[in-house]
Amino acid sequence: MKQNEKAASALLSAFPTVESFTAFYQNNDNAQICESLIAFAARNGIIESADPESLESFFRNRRDRAAGPVPPKSVDFEELLNKKGEILKLNLSLRALCARINSLLAAQQVLLPPVTNSMLIRLKKEPLDTRYKQNVLRSFAFWLGYERSEVSSRWHFDVLSKLFREGRQTQNYKEGVRIGFALSSRGDVIDHEIIGWLKKTVKAYIEQSISQFLYGRWGRVRLHDITTLYIDFPKEEEAGHLVADR
């Protein structure tokens, strides 16, 4: 398979339809990833001009994969990974698979998030309920398209995302702890841009690192006033002292 064909397959595996790419691009949080994907497409001769319109046109002109195969109801993401040799033709351990995926992302300068063994284990048990988890799954789909194009045509991102359990109903937590972030200045003005950066950074950390509990109204970054943010975390069932738990 030629290099540009592998690159095209990787993109189509991560974004099976023009709608999926457009929605991804329109999310400002994905700006750097999109820039890297556009550069990747241009380097591999998929688009002539390194701009989002050219890449969008590439997706628009390719065969729509959204109507691809529906996975059996008995198969979820855990089953898929447990039987990856049989279903995906992958005779690799999870750690080796992660290393291959991350090596490709680094070599191709694609800024989709790296895939870790611990994250794959979490995805076996948890719903696909955060942007970070979805992007990790796109990293997996991207590698699958690049290295296993014959498999990715049946197991692209949209099909993979159907393997995840629905998010469980939010528990009615009655106890928890509140963490506050207050900004102070020695003379400079604390403007909305600084507050926005802090809110975005804290939210990203929560999504990537501590999303193991059921949110609901918990775990959301909220403004108290112009210079203060706060987040409420629920007390976990096995937890003891609230302050020590976090």
- Going by C-alpha positions, the residue among 43, 41, 9 that lies closest to residue 25 is 41
How would residue 101 be classed by pLDDT, with cut points 50, 70 and 90?
very high
pLDDT at 170: 42
pLDDT at 143: 98
How would residue 235 be classed by pLDDT, with cut points 50, 70 and 90?
low
pLDDT at 175: 67
Q: How far is CA 53 from CA 25, 32, 49, 105, 234, in A?
A: 11, 16, 9, 23, 44
Look at 244 and 140; give whichever has higher pLDDT: 140
pLDDT at 221 over 60: yes
- Going by C-alpha positions, the residue among 100, 98, 101 that lies closest to residue 119 is 98
User: Average pLDDT for residues 32-42, to the nearest whole number?
Assistant: 97
Place of tokens 């995805």: 123
How would residue 197 be classed by pLDDT, with cut points 50, 70 and 90?
confident
User: Average pLDDT for residues 82-111, to the nearest whole number?
Assistant: 95
Q: What are phi and psi of 233, to 5 degrees?
A: -115, 135
Identify which of 27-31, 106-110, 127-131 has the greatest average pLDDT: 106-110
Helix-helix angle 52-61:31-43, to 10 degrees: 70
Q: Are 15 and 60 in contact (CB under 8 A)?
A: no
How would residue 198 be classed by pLDDT, with cut points 50, 70 and 90?
confident
Q: What are phi and psi of 52, to 5 degrees?
A: -65, -30
pLDDT at 192: 76
pLDDT digits (tens, 9 = 90+) for 121-158: 999 988 898 899 999 999 999 999 999 999 988 899 99
Taking the domains of the chain in order of start, what are their residue ranges? 3-161, 176-245
pLDDT at 46 over 80: yes
User: Average pLDDT for residues 198-215, to the nearest whole number?
Assistant: 66
Could you tell me the pTM of the whole model? 0.69
Q: What is the DSSP string of 22-86?
A: HHHHHSGGGHHHHHHHHHHHHHTTS-SS-SHHHHHHHHHHSPP-TT-PPPPTT--HHHHHHTHHH
Sign of the alpha-carbon dihedral angle for 20, 45, 43, 100: positive
How would residue 184 be classed by pLDDT, with cut points 50, 70 and 90?
confident
* pLDDT averaged over every residue in the chain: 82
Lowest mean per-residue pLDDT among 44-58, 78-92, 131-145, 188-202: 188-202
CA 26 to chain centre: 15
pLDDT at 33 over 60: yes
User: Average pLDDT for residues 43-65, to the nearest whole number?
Assistant: 88
**228-234 sheet: strands from edge to edge:** 176-182, 228-234, 222-225
Q: Rounded to an integer, what distance in angstroms lies between the CA atom of residue 155 and that of residue 164?
A: 13
User: Average pLDDT for residues 190-215, to the nearest whole number?
Assistant: 70
b/e per residue 85-95 (b: at least 16 CB within 10 A): eebbebeeebe
Q: What is the DSSP string of 115-180?
A: --HHHHHHHHHS-S-SHHHHHHHHHHHHHHHHH-HHHHTTS-HHHHHTTSPPPPPPP----EEEEE
Q: Are 202 and 161 in contact (CB under 8 A)?
A: no
pLDDT at 105 over 60: yes
Gap between the terminal Cα atoms of the chain: 50
